[in-house]
Amino acid sequence: MVVGVWLVGARGSVAVTSVVGALAVRAGLAEPVGMVTEALPLRDAALPSLSDLVFGGHDITAVPLGKKAESLAAAGVLPAGIVASLSAELVALEREVQPLPVGETPWETAGLIAADIARFRERHGLERVVVINVSSTEPAVSDHPAHAELAVLERALQSGEQVLPGSALAAYAAFRAGCAFVDFTPSTGARLPALEELAAREGLPYAGRDGKTGETLVKSVLAPMFAMRNLRVRSWSGTNLLGGGDGANLVDPAANAAKAGSKQRVLKETLGYQPQGHSLIEYVDDIGDFKTAWDLITFTGFLGVGMRMEFSWHGCDSALAAPLVLDLARLVAAAHAAGRSGPLTELAFFFKDPIGEVPHGLADQWALLSRFARELPDA
């Protein structure tokens, strides 16, 4: 089952790390460390293999993939040797990564996006394509009546109204092109009633939102620990220092708020109450892709005794995200092939802000994911 992976933001750090990683593992240059679908029990599931993936995408910048890969190597995200070995393949891939098209109206833009994806599918004789949004986080978007109903939305798009942010237009175009969609960012994406209506009508699955790679991942195991032990968490305060493209973008307070919001939700969901404290995001250019998060947790034990825990997480964001992007491409393609449509709540394991009424503790999400993978029909 050859599967297309269409990356929105294909020249960004996460996208290029994903592509270089897939090529490297395929070529035997690296181990698939960090890929959930390459370890037991998911390794035994009926999934397209890594070598079945074909990459393409859109971006608004024209920085060559090879250049981006080299700068990621200089920053310590990618091994320089691997980037050098793959330089020819990266040049060849240039042809599949196109500038984001712009039409007269959003309607027309969506048509152009869908057409690019369709041509990609035909060019490679692909059975199906998974569209994955890994572009820059957008500012939070305000409600609009056109979000509520597909018919109203389409009329607005035709009339030239800018009612959808880029991520949602990408989801709309993906569904129109008959593709599954994955929201790896905290942006709007497919999460509007009108788009859910479209996905349902077209029988297409989607997953999201916001890849869970660092501080929130740790929270999703520590918060359940406090809950299981009936210890009362009083405050949980986090600071995330990060540089890189994603960090620079988050200097915008609106984008920052969108991201910080979803970072405390796991606490409410797993503890059953919201402790005091906030999760701050702070841009520090020098820190680059090697984000540092620090969290302080104060809690009360037996007879009211106060205690504390703190942790620092020094993770390379793109290297944590990329293997999950590949996992998601495989899992969502298999779900699509199996006839699933609508939200894939079983993939909550991968997301900070998962869709639907799902568990927020990592272990429960893992159980859900494992069962989902086990039950996938053989292709």
Ligand X SMILES: NC(=O)c1ccc[n+]([C@@H]2O[C@H](COP(=O)([O-])OP(=O)(O)OC[C@H]3O[C@@H](n4cnc5c(N)ncnc54)[C@H](O)[C@@H]3O)[C@@H](O)[C@H]2O)c1
Return the residues of window 291-350 that contact Na ion according to CB under 5 A. 310, 312
Out of its own copies, ligand X, Na ion, none, what residue 151 binds, judged by CB under 5 to 8 A for its kind, is none
52 binds its own copies (CB under 8 A): no
Contact (CB, 8 A) for 342 and 13 = no
Is 261 an interacting residue with respect to its own copies (CB under 8 A)?
A: no
The answer to whether 231 contacts its own copies (rule: CB under 8 A) is yes
Number of residues assigned to the chain: 379
**Nearest one of 152, 59, 158 to 106, comparing CA atoms:** 158
Q: 205: helix, coil or strand?
A: strand
By CB under 6 A, name the one of 3, 4, 6, 8 that touches ligand X: 8
User: Which amino acid makes up residue 296?
Assistant: L
Smallest distance, Å, CB 378 to its own copies? 23
13 binds, among Na ion, ligand X, its own copies, none (CB under 5 to 8 A by kind): ligand X
- Residue 78 CB, shortest distance to its own copies, in Å, is 6
Q: Which amino acid appears at position 319 of this protein?
A: A
Exactly one of 12, 66, 277, 359 binds ligand X (CB under 6 A); that residue is: 12
Q: Which of 27, 39, 60, 80 contacts ligand X by CB under 6 A?
A: 60
Distance CA 95, CA 120 (A): 10
**Contact flag: residue 26 with its own copies (CB under 8 A):** no
Question: Per the structure block, which two tokens stand in for 279?
Answer: 């999760």
Our finding on whether 257 is near its own copies (CB under 8 A) is no
Question: Which residue from 115, 169, 105 is spatially nearest to 138, judged by alpha carbons?
Answer: 169
Q: What is the DSSP letter of 276?
A: B
* Count of residues that interact with its own copies, criterion CB under 8 A: 76
Which residue lies nearer to ligand X by CB, 58 or 340? 58
Cβ–Cβ under 8 Å, residues 335 and 203 = no
Q: Does 54 bind ligand X (CB under 6 A)?
A: no
Contact 326, 37 (CB under 8 A): yes
Judged by CB under 8 A, which of 16, 93, 164, 222 binds its own copies? 222
308 binds its own copies (CB under 8 A): yes
Cα–Cα distance, 197 to 151 (Å, whole number): 10
Name 88's Cβ contacts closer than 8 Å, sequence gap at least 6.
none
Tell the smallest beta-carbon distance from residue 19 to Na ion (Å): 34
**Interface positions, 99-118, toward ligand X (CB under 6 A):** 100
Nearer to ligand X, 128 or 291 (CB): 291
Determine the interface stretch with its own copies among 1-9, 19-27, 148-156, 257-265 (rule: CB under 8 A). 19-27
For residue 240 the two structure tokens come to 């995330």
Question: In this structure, what DSSP letter does residue 137 have?
Answer: P
Helix (H, G, I), strand (E, B) or coil at 144: coil
Nearest by Cα to 3 from 58, 54, 57, 56: 54
Kindly state whether residue 59 participates in binding ligand X, applying the rule CB under 6 A. yes
Choice from 302, 339, 357, 378 touching its own copies (CB under 8 A) = 302
Q: Compute how many other C-beta atoms are within 10 angstroms of the C-beta atom of residue 74.
A: 12
131 binds, among ligand X, Na ion, its own copies, none (CB under 5 to 8 A by kind): none
> Hey, what amino acid is at 339?
G
Site pattern 192..231 for ligand X (x: CB under 6 A)? ------------------xx-x------------------
Among residues 37, 98, 109, 136, which is the contact residue for ligand X, using CB under 6 A?
136
Q: Distance between CA 342 and CA 62 in Å, rounded? A: 34
Nearer to ligand X, 57 or 343 (CB): 57
178: how many CB neighbours lie within 10 A of its CB?
Answer: 16
Q: How far is the CB of 379 from ligand X (least distance, A)?
A: 29
Residue from 84, 103, 203, 310 in contact with its own copies (CB under 8 A): 310
Compare residues 241 and 257 and give the one whose CB is closer to its own copies.
Answer: 241
Rounded-to-integer distance, Cα 346 and Cα 369, Å = 5
In three-state secondary structure terms, 368 is helix
Interacting residue ranges for ligand X, rule: CB under 6 A: 8-9, 11-14, 58-61, 100, 134-137, 166, 184-185, 210-211, 213, 244-246, 317-318, 320-321
